[in-house]
Structure 1
Amino acid sequence: MSKIIGITGGIASGKSTVVEQIRRAGYQVIDADQVVHDLQKKGGRLYQALILAFGTDIVAADGQLDRAKLAQLIFSNEENREKSAKLQNRIIREELARRRDALAAKEPLFFMDIPLLYELDYQDWFDEIWLIYTDEDKQLERLMKRNNYSSDEALKRITAQMPLKNKKKAAQIIIDNNGSPEETRKQLEVQLKRLEKGQPF
């Protein structure tokens, strides 16, 4: 039976960097964001559903979804956010389950990177949940720098998710990403070695 590790964090918590290191260590990772991108591509299961819900304004000149416009629309008010979530979550969950089951048939250990793992109630899918943690001011600073957001825009996106301090109480393993990349890498190596030895958390 496969061991499945859930990885989560918050926007701009540095999760992508950690996931890349896990891949470099030779492990398979199902990336929920990539799954969403695949489903939203022209002809994908979510593509038509989103256009029906929000209109053709969210389609770019090349016929693909304009992700920036879609994100702006979703984050513009609570009603749009709820409408989008309800529409997308069922289809995304089905596709994640399909990919999980396919990988479980051939991999003894793999990871699933799900940003909204707690918010969307995926906890019971995993043997362990790892949280990539940063303090909120560091998260805010990174998001403003990365996406060129104002502090208000960045804060709106951070507060749309469950606070990292709440996720911290629920996760089994915390990878603290407040320090240097080297400090984060060392914490990750410790956890990967523990898994290789089959030791409990």
Structure 2
Amino acid sequence: MQNAYFVTSSIAGGKSSFIKIVQNLGFATLSADVIAHELLNENANSIVKLFNSDDLLVARKIDRKKLGAIVFNDLNAKKKLENFLHPKIKEVILQKAQILDQKNKAFFIELPLFFENNHYQNLGKSILIYTPKEILLQRLMQRDSLDESEALKRLHLQLDIEEKLKKADFVIKNISSYKNFEKNVLNFLKHTLKV
């Protein structure tokens, strides 16, 4: 897909902020997280069976906090959920992306695990929102009210940000204020997409 840009980072790196900025400029976007949340609820009963845990269900929806507590503390559980969800997420993303691609205008797909799995390589260009690990750690602790060891555990579940840096087609730095980040995004759009 020649118009697809996959936006990735580490947890708390600024993917959602990037998406908000480009949406405000009129670009179409897709979010793997939003799609995943929809699929979690659509497949709630299957997920309860998968983990043999009825208390994951609250008002016929998956309690994401409880599910997170399971998968962030058990690699096998994480793998089990990914094996169930990822093919479904990819199917929805590809259907929607192919429709957007036909409009012949750049669009952005927020995909946290772009480099961690090989499902999306060669389907578009990758944009890494780069934030050094120390800043990621501080932001994650603050955002999700986590202690340092819990925040580190979540960071370590993803490929190291420096490794992602080596693989990305484009890099946008998010290392200080939101204002500076916004400026970096606008510069990227101007120089790369000529908008």
Does TM-score exceed 0.5, indicating one fold?
yes
How far apart are the structure 2 equivalents of 1:192 and 1:16?
Answer: 16
> In the alignment, what sits opposite 2:121?
123
> In the alignment, what sits opposite 1:32?
32
> In the alignment, what sits opposite 1:79?
76
Give yes or no for the alignment of 1:11 onto 2:3. no
Unaligned segments of structure 1, at least 5 residues:
none
Q: Residues 2-151 of structure 1: matches in 2 within 5 Å?
A: 2-41=2-41, 44=42, 46-54=43-51, 55-60=53-58, 62-121=59-118, 122-126=120-124, 128-151=125-148
Deviations 1:87-122 (A, max 9, x none): 111111111111111222335221111010111222
How far apart are the structure 1 equivalents of 2:154 and 2:134?
Answer: 13
Superposition CA RMSD, Å: 1.5
What amino acid does structure 2 have at the position aligned with 1:3? N
- The offset of 1:161, in angstroms, is 0.4
Unaligned segments of structure 2, at least 5 residues:
none
- The offset of 1:2, in angstroms, is 4.6
Q: Is the 8 A contact 2:44 2:60 kept in 1?
A: no
How far apart are the structure 2 equivalents of 1:157 and 1:78?
Answer: 11
3-state secondary structure, aligned to 1:125: coil
Q: Is the 8 A contact 1:49 1:87 kept in 2?
A: no
How far apart are the structure 2 equivalents of 1:50 and 1:22?
Answer: 33
TM-score, scaled relative to structure 2: 0.93
What amino acid does structure 2 have at the position aligned with 1:150? D
What amino acid does structure 2 have at the position aligned with 1:57? D
Q: Is the 8 A contact 1:8 1:113 kept in 2?
A: yes
Deviations 1:170-195 (A, max 9, x none): 11211111122222111111111124
TM-score, scaled relative to structure 1: 0.90
How far apart are the structure 2 equivalents of 1:172 and 1:112?
Answer: 14
Q: Is the 8 A contact 1:2 1:108 kept in 2?
A: no
* 175-184 vs 131-140, greater mean Cα deviation: 175-184
Equivalent pairs, count:
193
How far apart are the structure 1 equivalents of 2:193 and 2:85?
Answer: 35
Deviations 1:106-159 (A, max 9, x none): 352211110101112222111x21101111111111111111111111011000
* 188-197 vs 146-155, greater mean Cα deviation: 188-197
3-state secondary structure, aligned to 1:162: coil
What amino acid does structure 1 have at the position aligned with 2:93? L
